[in-house]
Structure 1
């Protein structure tokens, strides 16, 4: 049986919005992974699009546990035969600030979303659904650190005082708030608190920038007399910063005005909010209040404690906890395009998993690609390619020269054909180039002689021909290791056959032009000779015909005599004959 790691992924999109109250509907894209047709799910009958042409992997039917909603019946999984990394590529998404709930909040500015899954060897990565939803530009703004260089990774999202899981959609939430999933927690522990709920309307809930659904604030937990402190503990990763969002609404009928319930909020024993009076701070009963703080945690637990100071009870509606992460810089776009061209030209098989970003996350770089971070430029780049003995076929594209930071290339033992791109001579940082045992032909580019850092060059076992560039030959005297053997057409250095007279490129062009001109003149002369010969033959034929018919001349003379003798008796007058020449 296949082992599946079930993964739910909600992707939310931020985009710039107008301050005008009349806004268009937010962008929404929901994909039911593995589905072959569009479907709708109860109770809201939300539309999910079929999963077509976004990624690789294998679609399959799903038997989802009853506690997972919405009830989608298909999935897509990614066995290792499809490669260690696979990505959903979704284009034409409005540019802006993106939030990946259950994963992270990030900025994306290229108009597309790339969602990648990397196998850890503990079963095949599997996904049931993806949602991309547009929400407010400033949603989850938490202070000066908030911005493009920061990711908020969702750690926990709880709705208190209820046992039913809810999405914003189930809560009839404003679409500009997205469709967040709220995990229910009825109480924090036996006899330490009690659930409260109301059907009364809640004010100031669905407002910018976060648009929390009104129904979120209609349930809560309240501490008891036996345990006045209200505390919740959860596991976290150590030595990280966390952004904590606490939600309140005074829905207890016993609290009728400000000052009746006052408490402090502590994080791991340290006070972060003093004298919280929900009615006084929100402005009224049945009115939403949201408090946010960012804390640094060194341990593996996070404990949120509400300590009553007046009224002997504390109240809490919902909790959201995000891990604050410094966003990883991406690989240089030019180098990504170069690797994609190399992938296409060499026909890299799926098992390489060259999808997504080559260097991010740094724990999962592309197979065969060595990454290095440029602190000055703030980007990753590729400094090594190790793809030897991988059964690769195809040719080397000129785009390989766009990998400007390469120090080592090993493509030996494959079935690469064609010529060595002369553009490789522009990769001045190259120290090792191993293209041995392939099917390369043509000559060794003169440009390789410009690689002054090159210390190891293996071109043996190919079908190269011509003279080895003198700049490379001279490098052998300086301790470089070059191998040109098993190329029957190469010549010009010790260990290889001697070359014939060397002609410059200009001389070769001149000779070629002279040969071409000679051929043209030869053709013209041949045509002239042939025409002259035809004329001579034609004249000879006419002469021969004349000699073979002697009566022709006599016959002609007889006709002339007959014409002169016509009408001999008729005289002519002087006027008819014209003026006389005699006086």
Structure 2
């Protein structure tokens, strides 16, 4: 028998043809995503066969490409498109749900040779950080589906497709249905649908709208059974399971009425644990001298005794703890008691295997914070999908977390967004990462000031904000944290002192001024001494030398730079004139044995000169300097 997870679309179409006039009933809380439906098409729309209201999935996932099944596949409208994921290892749908609500989650994939490769993909599905199942689309050409009941731990739920080989994951439908809070409960783990039958010799499949919870029921009937039925509608609202009425209008009894009723099921894995749900409703109006009473046995042991179903009223009996099956073969028996005149009956049955979800999801506050940062900076990274921290092999690029085992609640401890093109201010959402130890926002285009909230993040030990366009001062509280050991890296222009913000260059500036002033004092003293000596000895040890001339120069006593050309003439200048022509010794050209040579100009910048000053620290003395002046003065 083909797995019930194979969605028999052809049969569904035949079954629901009678419902084509049915309008969508109350679907409060339903999430029905038609994967790959272009957002510009009508969305939501009503599936004409089932009456379900489907919407495009484009708002719930940031990646993937739209595909369409081959035209040769005649199927429901909702199966005509799909979304496939050629890029990235993990691609995730993110859904808004109600924390603590039990949901039935169903993922369906119809390959339909959409890519023309005739190679049905196989891939994994995850719920949040935990492995759910492997979806092998080659099991049925009409589509495969997997279903699970799950209680979200927050108001956000991730359903992820994970590539496991060279084939490309894809999805046709993703559906969530809220269930009543007191149904399908477990002591631990979640419930993966294994089998769901209603006992009838009909070949029809029952689903929405007959099942208001949109469960899919297959028919099952064995040759050892006999069918009984009623034309009346039973009351199916007792207990909250809402088994479809038409599933309760038929029942199976043993063909040999003196024999027990027996149903056997073989598990995929012999170690699987099961939860079993038995649905009963008496379909025959019993006479006064008739009775139907039986014991229920599992694996040969009585688990419930002396049960009598109520006429046209549903009773659901379930296992409160998981049960196992010897060698993976499960056997249910219903044995009539001595007080019973009629054989046992069964209307419907559900088998669920227990699936453990041991990995804790990342702290919700951290998840909200990092998603806020993602939205602020419009980071559309394919690696930033699903749970930020776990599983570790899918951890978001640029994050480090403290998740070392399944017993530790993952927290984000490091955020590295260096060189990612960030713009705008430093995101306020960062302050909500309360366990953050390292923050690297370097080499971006961030502007604005450095927020004070960084100083309040007590777990931070390293911050790198360098190579940005930040302005303003570093908050004093952050500077204090730096003195206490915080490693803070910022551009030098952002380094600030109380009351002002100065760069490293400005910090060095007073030292440079002192050095320049000291040098100027030495120069002035040397020049004054030289002028005094020259006045006595008549030569000049301070000359303005034109760059080149072969014409001898003669002595000139004029003190006006603006009025007298020094071309082909020797000239003596005062120290103030030297400062004027060199613009206060602004441009040094080089340094020789006597001292520094400065650039200057005279006559309104029409003629350039080189000015050499004798330094007190010169290794050569005044006589040598004077000799050079005299020899250099022979040329202009």
TM-score over 0.5 (shorter chain): yes
* Conserved 8 A contact 1:229-1:308: yes
1:396 counterpart = 2:426: yes
Structure-2 change in CA distance of 1:408 and 1:305 (3 Å)? same
1:97 counterpart = 2:129: no
Corresponding residue of 1:292: 318
Structure-2 change in CA distance of 1:202 and 1:420 (3 Å)? same
CA distance in 1, matches of 2:401, 2:302: 41
Structure-2 change in CA distance of 1:258 and 1:443 (3 Å)? farther
1:169 counterpart = 2:217: no
Structure-2 change in CA distance of 1:131 and 1:373 (3 Å)? same
Q: Which residue, 143, 159, 171 being the options, matches 1:127? A: 171
Give TM-score scaled by structure 2 length. 0.54
CA distance in 2, matches of 1:362, 1:211: 40
1:80 counterpart = 2:81: no
CA distance in 1, matches of 2:75, 2:302: 35
1:247 counterpart = 2:254: no
CA distance in 2, matches of 1:75, 1:369: 32
- The secondary structure found in structure 1 opposite 2:374 is helix
Corresponding residue of 2:624: none
* Conserved 8 A contact 1:427-1:451: no
**Structural RMSD (CA):** 5.0
Corresponding residue of 2:34: 32
1:265 counterpart = 2:301: no
* Conserved 8 A contact 1:306-1:314: no
Structure 1 position 115, deviation (Å): 4.7
* Conserved 8 A contact 1:203-1:288: yes
Structure 1 position 425, deviation (Å): 1.6
* Conserved 8 A contact 2:277-2:350: yes
Structure-2 change in CA distance of 1:257 and 1:340 (3 Å)? farther
Alignment of 1:398-413 (within 5 A): 398-411=428-441
Structure 1 position 288, deviation (Å): 3.5
* Conserved 8 A contact 2:230-2:283: no
Higher strand fraction: Structure 1 or Structure 2? Answer: 1
* Conserved 8 A contact 1:430-1:453: no
1:274 counterpart = 2:276: no
1:235 counterpart = 2:268: yes
Structure 2 unaligned spans of 5+: 1-5, 9-24, 106-146, 512-636
Structure-2 change in CA distance of 1:467 and 1:230 (3 Å)? closer
- The secondary structure found in structure 2 opposite 1:166 is coil
Corresponding residue of 1:61: 68
CA distance in 1, matches of 2:72, 2:281: 33
* Conserved 8 A contact 1:161-1:219: yes
Corresponding residue of 2:347: 317
* Conserved 8 A contact 1:223-1:313: yes
Q: Which residue, 367, 372, 375 being the options, matches 1:336? A: 367
Structure 1 position 293, deviation (Å): 0.8
Structure 1 position 244, deviation (Å): 2.2
User: How big is each residue's C-alpha offset from its partner over 1:192-242, in whole Å with a ceiling of 9 and x where there is no partner?
Assistant: x446353533534343412211111344555566996432122359576x4
* Conserved 8 A contact 1:428-1:450: no
* Conserved 8 A contact 2:275-2:323: no
Structure-2 change in CA distance of 1:140 and 1:299 (3 Å)? closer
CA distance in 2, matches of 1:258, 1:291: 23
Structure-2 change in CA distance of 1:399 and 1:230 (3 Å)? closer
* Conserved 8 A contact 1:159-1:184: yes
Structure 1 position 406, deviation (Å): 0.9
- The secondary structure found in structure 1 opposite 2:172 is strand
Corresponding residue of 2:236: 205
CA distance in 2, matches of 1:212, 1:453: 68
Structure-2 change in CA distance of 1:306 and 1:118 (3 Å)? closer
Corresponding residue of 1:533: none
Structure 1 unaligned spans of 5+: 1-5, 9-23, 471-487, 502-583
CA distance in 1, matches of 2:71, 2:279: 31
1:159 counterpart = 2:186: no
* Conserved 8 A contact 2:230-2:250: no
1:106 counterpart = 2:112: no
Alignment of 1:336-485 (within 5 A): 336-354=367-385, 357-359=387-389, 364-372=394-402, 380-388=410-418, 395-411=425-441, 419-435=449-465, 444-451=474-481, 457=487, 459=489, 463-465=491-493, 467=495
Structure 1 position 150, deviation (Å): 7.0
Structure-2 change in CA distance of 1:183 and 1:94 (3 Å)? same
Structure 1 position 253, deviation (Å): 11
Structure 1 position 405, deviation (Å): 0.8
CA distance in 1, matches of 2:454, 2:421: 22
User: How big is each residue's C-alpha offset from its partner over 1:448-478, in whole Å with a ceiling of 9 and x where there is no partner?
Assistant: 344479867373xx743254779xxxxxxxx
- The secondary structure found in structure 1 opposite 2:321 is strand
Corresponding residue of 1:490: 504
Structure-2 change in CA distance of 1:199 and 1:283 (3 Å)? closer
* Conserved 8 A contact 1:84-1:353: no
Structure-2 change in CA distance of 1:270 and 1:54 (3 Å)? same
CA distance in 2, matches of 1:449, 1:212: 67
Give TM-score scaled by structure 1 length. 0.58
* Conserved 8 A contact 1:98-1:108: no
* Conserved 8 A contact 2:292-2:343: no
* Conserved 8 A contact 1:449-1:469: no
- The secondary structure found in structure 1 opposite 2:104 is strand
- The secondary structure found in structure 2 opposite 1:405 is coil
User: How big is each residue's C-alpha offset from its partner over 1:434-460, in whole Å with a ceiling of 9 and x where there is no partner?
Assistant: 45666656655443344479867373x
CA distance in 2, matches of 1:65, 1:220: 38
Structure-2 change in CA distance of 1:254 and 1:117 (3 Å)? same
